[in-house]
Amino acid sequence: MVKILVIGAGAVGLSTAVCMQRSIDGANMTIFAEKFGVDTTSDGAAGIFRPLPPDIPDDMIRPWLAESWKYYDSIASSGEGSIAGVFPVSGYDLYPEKSPIPPAYRDYVYHYRPCTKRELQVQFNNKYKAGFFISTLMVEGRKYLPWLTKQFLGEGGKIQAIKVKSLADIDSSFDVIVNCSGSGSFELVDDKNMYPIQGQLTRVKADWVKHFYYDVENSTYIVPGANNVVLGGTKVVGDASTVANSETREQVFTRCCQLLPSLKEATFLWDWVGIRPGRVINPRVEAGIETINHKRRMVVHNYGHAADGVALSWGTAVQATKLLKQLLNEQTSIVCAKL
């Protein structure tokens, strides 16, 4: 038996815990987290599988995309899709100027094609010079996190509401520490590459909205969920405040109405503010031996996904699990060699 502690209960933490639980023989899994469910960034995010991370090398992101898509598609195609909040959705990425290079995720989603001239003329009054029509998957955190938590607990996992302030505070009875603390890694592991990215969005009732719309250059988006529609958004680098601003709400609503005028008839539900875990360099997914309190401990890191935590969470969880299995095998070999 190997005792594994995962720090963090957002999409990345839960995915990593479940993936390790299912893949590592004898894994005894525990999650420590300060925030759960509605208090996590993953809960409030739109959650659409449409990752656009900046500057991640192709050979790094494609395995994450492939594993995440395969996993989410299997849920959507099963009888668990509606319970888990994973279901197909289609819509538009729109650009006021020239069309960009298509992102890597286009090779995994159901459908990805350039908009026709007629679509741009009739639907969007020639406001955009280029766009793409995309069929992908929605992963609603509000349903997905409780569903994934149930999976974890059902397979013997344990969860405790504990804020971990330092890896040095973790009991030595745990054989492996897995850090999925997101923004908390700035303090937890002194990662100065981490920085907060504040995002504010609004939920409205607008049952007639069936497609998603992204004005990519203006960071404006409209994403229909199962019970409401997400209007966004903002991307304020360096701001860690979680207080909603009414003026920001009006600005976002105005931009969304310019994109889809019928939203003027929408009913306001609530505002939400979340802090995305930005990182100056790529997300940190690695495993190794670290010296903590003068003792060598096996530590895995999986954090720094910025705005793509939900979309990439299962893919990075798979990689983190593979790295841990390699590390465990290496340590076993060392012990056997000494014997």
Element (H, E) at 295: strand 295-303
Question: Taking Cα atoms as reference points, which of 230, 47, 73 lies closest to residue 142?
Answer: 47
pLDDT at residue 333, rounded to an integer = 64
- Residue 337 banded pLDDT, cuts 50, 70, 90: low
CATH number of the domain located at residue range(s) 2-334 in this protein: 3.40.50.720
Stretch 146-164: mean pLDDT, rounded?
97
164 appears as a binding residue in the annotation: yes
The confidence score (pLDDT) of residue 97 equals 85
Residue 100 has a pLDDT of 82
d(CA 251, CA 234): 10
Local confidence band at 334 (pLDDT 50, 70, 90 cut-offs)? low
DSSP assignment of 247-294, as one string?
HHHHHHHHHHHHHSGGGGGPEEEEEEEEEEEEESSS-EEEEEEEEETT
What is the predicted pLDDT for the residue at 99?
A: 78
DSSP string spanning 140-164? -HHHHHHHHHHHHHHTT-EEEE---
Token pair listed for 133: 């029509």
| pLDDT score of 228 more than 70 | yes
pLDDT at 336: 52
Q: Is the pLDDT of residue 295 over 80?
A: yes
Q: Domain residues of the chain, as ranges?
A: 2-334
Strand partners, 94: 131, 215
DSSP annotation string for 93-138: EEESSS--PPPGGGGTSSEEEEPPHHIIIIITTT--SEEEEEEEEE
- 111-114 and 27-33 beta bridge pairing: unpaired
Q: What is the mean pLDDT of the chain?
A: 95
Q: What is the pLDDT of residues 107-119, one digit of tens each?
A: 999 999 999 999 9
Question: Per the annotation, does 276 bind a ligand?
Answer: yes
* Residue 154 pLDDT class (50, 70, 90 cuts): very high
Query: Would the annotation count 42 as a binding residue?
Result: yes
Q: How far apart are CA 198 and CA 242, in angstroms?
A: 8
The average pLDDT across 274-278 equals 96
Q: What's the average model confidence in pLDDT over 239-267?
A: 97
Q: What is the mean pLDDT of residues 62-87?
A: 98
* pLDDT greater than 80 at residue 320: yes
Question: Which residues have C-beta within 8 Å of that of residue 235, sequence separation ≥ 6?
Answer: 197, 198, 199, 219, 307
Predicted confidence at residue 338, as pLDDT, reads: 58
The two tokens of residue 286 are: 């690695």
Q: How far apart are CA 4 and CA 317, in angstroms?
A: 14
In degrees, rounded to 5, the angle at the alpha carbon of residue 99 between the alpha carbons of residues 96 and 101 is 140
15/178 Cα distance (integer angstroms): 12
Instruction: Tell me what pLDDT residue 94 has.
Output: 96
Q: What is the pLDDT of residues 6-40, one digit of tens each?
A: 999 999 999 999 999 999 999 999 999 999 999 99
**Residue 332 assigned to a binding site:** no
With contact defined as beta carbons under 8 Å apart, do 228 and 266 qualify?
no
Phi, psi angles (nearest 5°) of residue 27: -70, 125
> What is the residue whose two structure tokens read 């594994």?
4
Confidence of residue 101 (pLDDT cuts 50, 70, 90): confident
